[in-house]
Amino acid sequence: MSKHATLVFSRHGESEWNVANIFTGWVDVDLSEKGLGEAKGAGELLKAENLQIDIAFTSFLKRAIKTCNLALESADQLYVPVNKSWRLNERMYGGLTGLDKKETVVKHGAEQVQIWRRSFDIPPPALEKESKYHPCHEPKYAALDPKEVPDTECLKDTIARVMPYWESTIAPELKAGKTVFVAAHGNSIRAIVKMIEGISDDVIPGLEIPTGTPLVYELDADLKPIASPLAVEPLKFGRYLGDAEKIKAAAEAVKNQTKVG
């Protein structure tokens, strides 16, 4: 298999609500100080790897948009065209939105919260339209059919939202042999990685993608991934740029966000 195109993901840097340990979803919170540094660091890794980006994609949420811009700036590639789509937004956390993760565990029990966070097809309770956090109140979604604005989502729903954009817009750029950068969110990246890697429904929810760490795929002309000896389980094809031990620790920290005591 010979390399035809390169796909690089970067999950956004740490956000202010990551720090506060709050379920965020579609709420448009900003990057933390550390998150700004992580986004710049992602760009430095792109530069060190000599990855020349042709086109970039991101979501409608500022934590991903800023990560995209800061990474491109650090890589000295701010000229790269950037496309934004709501379809690359984070998973909509429904009624969990705005709640403290540990308090939610105390209230509903660790097992139930784990199901909401990490099951493939069981969404949290719906977010009431009256909630100040509901995206139906935001001008950025005014052009959407109201039926497209979710009240809650599981990972399966997120995949159904993300993949039409992959097929129609991102995949053709890769088929053209380009190097594509996608700065998005844990769950919207999971959706695409699941398809590329062929990861099963029961394994994919547990894949932790660390913040601000580029994940690189080399693809053949049919957009089939080329195996990398540097892939970390459960991945077989994608490789992270940067310090492997730090990456492992960062992924573990995300996993432990709902641990109480």
pLDDT value of residue 259: 60
15 is in an annotated binding site: yes
pLDDT value of residue 244: 74
Token duo for residue 78: 């701010």
**What does DSSP say about strands 179-184 and 55-58: parallel, antiparallel, or unpaired?**
parallel
pLDDT value of residue 249: 73
Task: Mark whether 12 is an active-site residue.
Answer: yes
16 is in an annotated binding site: yes
186 is in an annotated binding site: yes
pLDDT value of residue 245: 76
239 is in an annotated binding site: no
- Does any domain span residue 54? yes
- Closest by CA to 140, choosing from 194, 89, 94, is 89
pLDDT value of residue 248: 72
Q: What does the alpha-carbon distance between residue 62 and residue 15 come to, in Å, rounded to a whole number?
A: 10
- Does any domain span residue 139? yes
- Does any domain span residue 41? yes
CATH value at residue 250: 3.40.50.1240
190 is in an annotated binding site: no
Look up the domain containing 150 and give its range: 5-256
pLDDT value of residue 254: 65
Residue 112: count other Cβ atoms within 10 Å of its Cβ.
14
- Does any domain span residue 66? yes
Catalytic residue among 4, 38, 90, 197: 90
Quickly count helices (H) and strands (E) in the chain: 9, 6
pLDDT value of residue 95: 95
pTM of the model: 0.94
Task: Transcribe 106-119 into DSSP letters.
Answer: HHH-HHHHHHHHH-
Residue 20: count other Cβ atoms within 10 Å of its Cβ.
12
- Does any domain span residue 261? no
Indicate the DSSP class of residue 2.
Answer: -
Structural domains counted in the chain: 1
91 is in an annotated binding site: yes
- Does any domain span residue 122? yes
pLDDT in tens, the chain (261 residues): 899 999 999 999 999 999 999 999 999 999 999 999 999 999 999 999 999 999 999 999 999 999 999 999 999 999 999 999 999 999 999 999 999 999 999 988 999 999 998 899 999 999 999 999 999 999 999 999 999 999 999 999 999 999 999 999 999 999 999 999 999 999 999 999 999 999 999 999 999 999 989 999 999 999 999 999 999 999 999 999 988 777 777 667 666 655 654
